[in-house]
A and B are shown apart, each in its own frame.
Chain A
Amino acid sequence: MLEIKCPYCGKRSQNEFSYGGDGTIKRPALGEEISTKDWDDFVYFRDNPRGKHTELWQHVSGCRQWFKASRDTATHEIFSTCKMNEDFNE
């Protein structure tokens, strides 16, 4: 069970969080003209890197805030976490 540092609450065990996928995906703007391929890339396609991965987590059993985490998908090491409006302090 991972130990994740919520940027609002501090270190908590993984079972208080839910995983929110790739944190680098940007939703196309509302009303934006977008090709089907680009839309499908946004909806369906995600990289599955071995190594460092920027991802989203939500502290569901805590403050309910979404935040960013930089995690190694192979070793589970979490290098850094930060609020949505911040950049990693690495």
Chain B
Amino acid sequence: MRILMSNQYRTSNSKGLVNKEKIINFTFNGDSYQGYEGDTLASALIANGIHLVGRSFKYHRPRGFLGAGVEEPNAMVQLHEGDRSEPNIMATEVELVEGLKAKSQNCWPSVKFDIGEINNILNRFFPAGFYYKTFMWPKSFWFKVYEPFIRKAAGMGVAPLSPDPDRYEHNYEHCDVLVVGSGPSGLSSALAAAKNGARVILAEDKAHFGGSLLNDDVTIGNMSGREWASDVISQLKNMPNVVVKSRSQVFGYYDHNMTVMFERVSDHLENSSKYTPRQRLHYIRAGEVIVSTGSIERPISFGNNDRPGIFLASAAREYMKVYETLVGKKPIIFTNNDSAYATALEFIKNDIKPIIVDTRDNSDGQLVKEVQEQGINIRFNSGIANTKGHLKIKSATIGTLDNQKENFISLAEVDCDCICMSGGWTPTVHLSSQAGNKLKFNEDIDAFVPDKKRQKETAVGSANGAFTLNQSLAEGFQVGFELSNKFTSNDIKTDTPISNEPDQKPHEKLWCMPLPNGQKPKRFIDFQNDVAVSDVELALREGFRSIEHVKRYTTLGMAGDQGKTSNLNGLQYVSNIEKKIVPEVGHTTFRPPYTPVTIGTIVGREVGNHYLPTRKSPVHTWHEENNAVFVAAGLWVRPRYYPRGTETMNDAVNREAANVRKNVGICDVTTLGKIDIKGPDAPEFLNRVYTNAWLKLPVGKARYGVMLREDGMVFDDGTTSRLSENHFHMTTTTAQAANVLSHLEYYLQVVWPDLDVNVLSTTEQWAGVAVAGPKSRELLSKLFPDVDLSNEGLPFMGLVDTKLGDIPARIYRISFSGELAFEVNVESNYGLHLWKKIMDVGSELGVQPYGTEALSTLRIEMGHVAGPELDGRNIPYDVGLNGMVSQKKDFIGKRSLSKEAFVSEDRQTIVGLVPVDKKSKIPEGSHLVADDKAPTPIPKLGHVSSSCWSVEYNNPFSIAIIKDGKKQIGKQLIAVSPLKDISIPVEVVSSHYVDPKGERVRS
């Protein structure tokens, strides 16, 4: 590792915003460098004379910096190492922080010698549409040949494989006026709105407020632009109705004035505390949005205009004025307008005399005159034809243009170490366009500006095409005041201060230089995606006309930078060739995000255990202490089984299920959905909701119910009890609890508002314990000695209110396992107490807890349907519930049941399956066929919905739903699982495998 200490490219006279007292150490491609506090990675590298930072996407051409901010298309780096490693970061957006490690990407083995550069030499084989043309055929080549090749060749950075160790947050904000961008128009609109009393949020992407005021030599009032900016910011920061955010990019504008902003909270801090988020996502619902996002300078297309050392003129000026960094010491300024002369003057201020090449015939703008007064000869009516310098620009070929400006008439090579180009300015209309604003073309500035708005969004300043400071300030103060007046009654208007700036003459409508005679250097339009003028020509030659098609065919503007510097030049070129004006060509659509956003920020805190809420039963701690293996059931965490010693899952499940069949087991059923239903029309309501009859259910009795959707499919099932005349307690499956509640509310509020019924979820209010098995009555008798639990005292489907000590408790005589069983409910807070009591008194009876697996085994053996059978595709007949369907009354979904297909004789029905060898387990989801050797497609008879190991018969058993099921009983079929590549001969039996007469539950 070399240690390089230089900073030899610092300005001598520009006064910027870096702190030369504080040195920051960092590495780039393994070499150590030093920069200053306040530098970006880009400015620090440039100050150390480093311009070669990466390789281009398609041709692997050496690339340096073009811009100084979000517009940067080239300088993408990989930041940090290990699990914090992050690809595709714009070096211009990274604030320098001690110990920062960055490296180039898209190059191998190194940025200076890159194998992929052969693509550049072979570039005639990589024209526009290359991927489409080459990787079409044969189809079988896609996975093995084409895709790996494209991925390798096109690979940008590398994503880390380990979890992101940093913390990200989300925040919701509301304000009256959101101001995006803190240039002159943003500051003035924020100040005007805030002084009028509106709640204002001002967001600035950069570390410093002020936008163009940091780079332009202007005065506002009696202050410099930069002083005025910091004065306004300090005023705003002291106002209680204002939130001022730097390092915050508003990147998305969605419906109903919902904007999304990400804030770099601690990326720039050397140390931050553990709980400080790295980045924060703000959802801002704004009453009005003021888009003061400024403008981005346009490049000019000329031969080899992509070499390291070729900058936007405004970026070169920003490097000098903000970062005290020189992009070169032998500059050429190449422009079609006046604004680049400010960059020339800044060089001159630092005792560097630039060569100036201007495509125009002349200009007598104030900045031009000031440059001329410095004795500098301006080469008007000239352009750059080509450049040289492999890893860094060394020279430029400058030529005089003919009268039509379509050819060079004389060419001369001039040494240089940088070119600062300016093709004028493009308003940053992305947010307005995202908001649905129909843009219009402004021919004075040759760019699109916001026009007809769809949302409450107003562009001001140069984002609105107002390119002078006077206009920007006037618009800002006016719009800020007017919009804030919608939210306050103060009517306080702030005067626009007097400002002073150099006047500028019109630009020339020329953005693409002719080719030098006999040469065909690439003239790039889109730097990030390597799209050159010749690619656009090719696309048009091949018949692409729509700008959206040209975009996709050439990939112009489709890279991560979304064409911030390339879109308009591409459009302009298409319109030149097509001899149309730009507005006829139209523009492509702007979509969020405006700049790349980390996945971590989008995800926020919703990772790991925070991804979803976790619901735990009050008995959860006991389950944990007793070695439960848990399973997710929706949001709930339920015990799946409780292994002992070296038991496998199968061992444990079989033991737990068998213990219920011969002794007694207990299961935590707290998760079942519970809905309290009250009102004089409650019986009538249940009668409409369920397929069976409910009007005559006696108080103190429970009944099993099935509910359908209107399309006749089974929606849910459960046991509902009548607690008093007008009071019912409904239970639902764990999975459908929330949906059933919404379903009930829908019918009560929307369909039958005349019914006087209230429904309320009480799932969380009750803890439930199922006590199942032949010894369950004996167990509960010990716990409730005063309650008559006999068949006479508490018959099947009865319930009784009682007390466990002082605690109110309710005992239901219901069964899911098919055994003699009870369910005890107490208030949730006593759930753990109840559970422990049962375990206590049941120990001498051999009580054991059983989890969801044993619960499944028990219900599958009995042929009771559950989620896998009630999958929304079966009517009651299909799952053996036809006996539950009342013929006398109407109910939700009944009309569907009489449709032709639903009364068909050979409909699918539920059956049981036993493997012929009594050993092979049948995978759930297997298909059932008559002959697995038949020619494909083999007719499918049905599928296996649930499988278990029958503890009653000690062999595998499954439930299946098959065509004409009743007629298949006794036959032999094949269960085929193509996933597991197995075929199992099975015998079709009744789904009621154990206790088909249902005697045990009534015992």
Physical interaction between A and B: yes
Q: Which residues of A contact B (CB under 8 A)?
A: 1-3, 13, 18, 20, 27-28, 30-31, 34, 36, 39, 42-44, 56, 58, 60, 64-66, 75-76, 78, 84-85
Cα-based distance from A60 to B742 in the complex (angstroms): 8
Contacts A28-B895, A56-B750 given: A66-B745 contact, CB under 8 Å?
Answer: yes
CB distance from A59 to the nearest CB of B (A): 10
Contacts A39-B896, A58-B745, A75-B454 given: A1-B711 contact, CB under 8 Å?
Answer: no
Q: Does B258 make an interface contact (CB < 8 A)?
A: yes
Q: Per-position contact with A for B243-283: 1 when CB-CB < 8 Å, else 0?
A: 00000000000111110000000000000000000000001
Q: Does B634 make an interface contact (CB < 8 A)?
A: no
List B contacts of A34 (CB < 8 A). 895
Pair B895/A66 contact, Cβ less than 8 Å: no
Pair A1/B256 contact, Cβ less than 8 Å: yes
Contacts A34-B895, A43-B896, A76-B255 given: A58-B285 contact, CB under 8 Å?
Answer: no
List A contacts of B258 (CB < 8 A). 1-3, 13
Pair A2/B255 contact, Cβ less than 8 Å: yes
Pair B285/A44 contact, Cβ less than 8 Å: no
Pair A30/B688 contact, Cβ less than 8 Å: yes
Pair A66/B749 contact, Cβ less than 8 Å: yes
List A contacts of B710 (CB < 8 A). 27, 42-43
CB distance from B591 to the nearest CB of A (A): 16
List A contacts of B751 (CB < 8 A). 27
Q: Please pick, from B255, B750, B896, the residue contacting A1 in the complex, using a CB distance under 8 A.
A: B255
Q: Per-position contact with A for B643-684: 1 when CB-CB < 8 Å, else 0?
A: 000000000000000000000000000000000000000000
List B contacts of A27 (CB < 8 A). 710, 751
Within 8 A of A (CB), among B730-759: 742, 745-746, 749-751, 753
Pair B895/A58 contact, Cβ less than 8 Å: no
Pair B890/A20 contact, Cβ less than 8 Å: no
List B contacts of A20 (CB < 8 A). 746, 750
List A contacts of B688 (CB < 8 A). 30
List A contacts of B900 (CB < 8 A). 36
Top 3 A-B pairs, shortest CB-CB distance: A3-B256, A30-B890, A66-B749
Q: Which residues of B contact A (CB under 8 A)?
A: 172, 254-258, 283, 285, 436, 454, 688, 710-711, 742, 745-746, 749-751, 753, 890-891, 895-896, 899-900
Q: Please pick, from A3, A39, A43, A60, the residue contacting B285 in the complex, using a CB distance under 8 A.
A: A3
List B contacts of A3 (CB < 8 A). 256-258, 285
Name which residue of chain B comes closest to A65, CB basis. B749
Q: Please pick, from A13, A30, A36, A64, the residue contacting B745 in the complex, using a CB distance under 8 A.
A: A64
List A contacts of B890 (CB < 8 A). 30-31
Q: List 24 A-B contacts (CB under 8 A).
A: A1-B255, A2-B258, A3-B256, A3-B258, A3-B285, A13-B258, A13-B285, A27-B710, A30-B891, A34-B895, A36-B899, A39-B896, A43-B711, A44-B711, A58-B745, A58-B746, A66-B745, A66-B746, A66-B749, A66-B750, A76-B255, A76-B256, A78-B256, A84-B753
Cα-based distance from A20 to B454 in the complex (angstroms): 26
Q: Please pick, from B257, B283, B750, B899, the residue contacting A84 in the complex, using a CB distance under 8 A.
A: B750
List A contacts of B750 (CB < 8 A). 20, 56, 66, 84
List A contacts of B753 (CB < 8 A). 84-85
List A contacts of B254 (CB < 8 A). 1
CB distance from A67 to the nearest CB of B (A): 9
Name which residue of chain B comes closest to A11, CB basis. B285
CB distance from A7 to the nearest CB of B (A): 12
Pair B283/A18 contact, Cβ less than 8 Å: no
Cα-based distance from A64 to B761 in the complex (angstroms): 11
Q: Please pick, from A30, A39, A43, A58, the residue contacting B742 in the complex, using a CB distance under 8 A.
A: A58
Pair B895/A18 contact, Cβ less than 8 Å: no
Cα-based distance from A42 to B285 in the complex (angstroms): 38
List B contacts of A30 (CB < 8 A). 688, 890-891
A sample of 18 more A-B contacts (CB under 8 A), given A1-B255, A39-B899, is A1-B256, A2-B255, A2-B256, A2-B258, A13-B283, A18-B742, A27-B710, A27-B751, A28-B895, A30-B688, A43-B896, A58-B742, A64-B745, A66-B746, A66-B749, A75-B436, A75-B454, A78-B256
CB distance from A42 to the nearest CB of B (A): 7
Name which residue of chain A comes closest to B255, CB basis. A76
Name which residue of chain B comes closest to A18, CB basis. B742
CB distance from B74 to the nearest CB of A (A): 35
Which of B710, B753, B895 has the largest count of A CB atoms less than 10 A from its CB?
A: B895
Cα-based distance from A28 to B895 in the complex (angstroms): 10
List A contacts of B896 (CB < 8 A). 39, 43
Pair A1/B283 contact, Cβ less than 8 Å: yes
Which of B255, B285, B454, B891 has the largest count of A CB atoms less than 10 A from its CB?
A: B255
Cα-based distance from A44 to B713 in the complex (angstroms): 13
Name which residue of chain A comes closest to B751, CB basis. A27
List B contacts of A84 (CB < 8 A). 749-750, 753
Cα-based distance from A44 to B711 in the complex (angstroms): 8
List B contacts of A31 (CB < 8 A). 890
CB distance from B479 to the nearest CB of A (A): 23
List A contacts of B283 (CB < 8 A). 1, 13
List A contacts of B746 (CB < 8 A). 20, 58, 66
List A contacts of B256 (CB < 8 A). 1-3, 76, 78
List A contacts of B895 (CB < 8 A). 28, 34, 39
List A contacts of B891 (CB < 8 A). 30
List A contacts of B172 (CB < 8 A). 13
List B contacts of A85 (CB < 8 A). 753
Cα-based distance from A84 to B748 in the complex (angstroms): 11
Cα-based distance from A9 to B255 in the complex (angstroms): 21
Cα-based distance from A88 to B575 in the complex (angstroms): 49
CB distance from B202 to the nearest CB of A (A): 22
Cα-based distance from A85 to B890 in the complex (angstroms): 25
List B contacts of A60 (CB < 8 A). 742
List B contacts of A44 (CB < 8 A). 711
CB distance from B301 to the nearest CB of A (A): 38
Cα-based distance from A84 to B742 in the complex (angstroms): 15
Cα-based distance from A56 to B742 in the complex (angstroms): 13
Cα-based distance from A1 to B174 in the complex (angstroms): 14
CB distance from B686 to the nearest CB of A (A): 14
List B contacts of A18 (CB < 8 A). 742
Cα-based distance from A78 to B742 in the complex (angstroms): 23
Name which residue of chain A comes closest to B899, CB basis. A36
CB distance from B901 to the nearest CB of A (A): 11
CB distance from A8 to the nearest CB of B (A): 11
CB distance from B287 to the nearest CB of A (A): 11
CB distance from B583 to the nearest CB of A (A): 23
Cα-based distance from A56 to B751 in the complex (angstroms): 12
Cα-based distance from A31 to B256 in the complex (angstroms): 44
Cα-based distance from A28 to B894 in the complex (angstroms): 12
List A contacts of B749 (CB < 8 A). 65-66, 84
Name which residue of chain B comes closest to A28, CB basis. B895
CB distance from B277 to the nearest CB of A (A): 21
List A contacts of B899 (CB < 8 A). 36, 39
Name which residue of chain B comes closest to A13, CB basis. B285
Cα-based distance from A1 to B256 in the complex (angstroms): 7
Cα-based distance from A2 to B283 in the complex (angstroms): 12
Cα-based distance from A56 to B257 in the complex (angstroms): 22
Cα-based distance from A64 to B285 in the complex (angstroms): 23
List B contacts of A42 (CB < 8 A). 710
List B contacts of A64 (CB < 8 A). 745
Cα-based distance from A44 to B896 in the complex (angstroms): 11
Cα-based distance from A66 to B744 in the complex (angstroms): 11
Cα-based distance from A64 to B256 in the complex (angstroms): 23
CB distance from B250 to the nearest CB of A (A): 15
CB distance from B564 to the nearest CB of A (A): 26
Cα-based distance from A2 to B256 in the complex (angstroms): 6
Cα-based distance from A18 to B254 in the complex (angstroms): 19
Cα-based distance from A44 to B753 in the complex (angstroms): 23
Cα-based distance from A84 to B746 in the complex (angstroms): 11
Cα-based distance from A76 to B256 in the complex (angstroms): 8
Cα-based distance from A67 to B237 in the complex (angstroms): 42
CB distance from B393 to the nearest CB of A (A): 47
CB distance from B426 to the nearest CB of A (A): 27
